Amino acid sequence: MKHNQDINGFDQYTIAFAMLAAIFLGTAAPAAAQDIALKKYKIDSDHISVSGISSGGALAVQLHVAYSSIFKRGVGIVAAPPYFCGEGDVMTALSNCVQPSDDKKLNTAAFVEKAKAWSGQSIDDVGNLADSKVYIFSGAKDTSIKGGVVAENRAFYGNFTAEKNIVYKNDIPAAHAMVVDKGKTPCDAFEEPYINNCNFDLPGAMLKWIHGDLKPRVPSIPANLIKFNQDEFRGKTRDSDAFDSTAWAYVPSACKSGEECKLHIALHGCQQGQGFVGDKYVRNAGYNEWAEANNIIVLYPQVGPSGQLGTPTQNPLGCWDWWGYSGTEYALRNGAQVSAIKKMIDRLTDAK
Q: Is the pLDDT of residue 340 over 80?
A: yes
Given this model, what pLDDT does residue 23 score?
A: 47
Q: Is the pLDDT of residue 47 over 50?
A: yes
pLDDT-above-90 percentage for the chain: 82
Confidence of residue 120 (pLDDT cuts 50, 70, 90): very high
Given this model, what pLDDT does residue 165 score?
A: 98
The full 3-state SS of the chain, as one line of letters, equals CCCCECCCCCEHHHHHHHHHHHHCCCCCCCCCCCCCCCCCCCEEEEEEEEEEECHHHHHHHHHHHHCCCCCCCEEEEECCCCCCCCCCCHHHHHHHHCCCCCCCCCCHHHHHHHHHHHECCCECCHHHHHHCEEEEECCCCCCCCCHHHHHHHHHHHCCCCCHHHEEEECCCCCCCCEEECCCCCECCCCCCCCEEECCCCHHHHHHHHHHCCCCCCCCCCHHHEEEEECHHHCCCCHHHHCECCEEEEECCHHHHCCCCEEEEEEECCCCCCHHHHCCHHHHHCCCHHHHHHHCEEEEECCECCECCCCCCCCECCCCCCCCCCCCCCCCCCCCHHHHHHHHHHHHHHCCC
Given this model, what pLDDT does residue 26 score?
A: 40
Q: Is the pLDDT of residue 343 over 80?
A: yes
Least confident piece of the model among 91-105, 107-121, 154-168? 91-105
Catalytic residue among 68, 132, 138, 176: 176
**Residues 149-165, mean pLDDT to the nearest whole number:** 98
Given this model, what pLDDT does residue 142 score?
A: 98
pLDDT digits (tens, 9 = 90+) for 209-228: 999 999 999 999 999 999 99
Does 101 or 51 have the greater pLDDT score?
51
Q: Does 45 participate in catalysis according to the annotation?
A: no
Domain locations in the chain? Answer: 39-349
Confidence of residue 235 (pLDDT cuts 50, 70, 90): confident
Does 68 or 6 have the greater pLDDT score?
68
Would the pTM count as exceeding 0.95?
no
Question: How high is the mean pLDDT of the chain?
Answer: 91
Confidence of residue 351 (pLDDT cuts 50, 70, 90): confident
Given this model, what pLDDT does residue 239 score?
A: 75
Q: Does 142 participate in catalysis according to the annotation?
A: yes
Confidence of residue 16 (pLDDT cuts 50, 70, 90): low
pLDDT-above-70 percentage for the chain: 89
Q: Does 339 participate in catalysis according to the annotation?
A: no
Catalytic residue among 47, 49, 51, 54: 54
Given this model, what pLDDT does residue 19 score?
A: 52
Q: Is the pLDDT of residue 297 over 80?
A: yes
Catalytic residue among 51, 132, 138, 142: 142
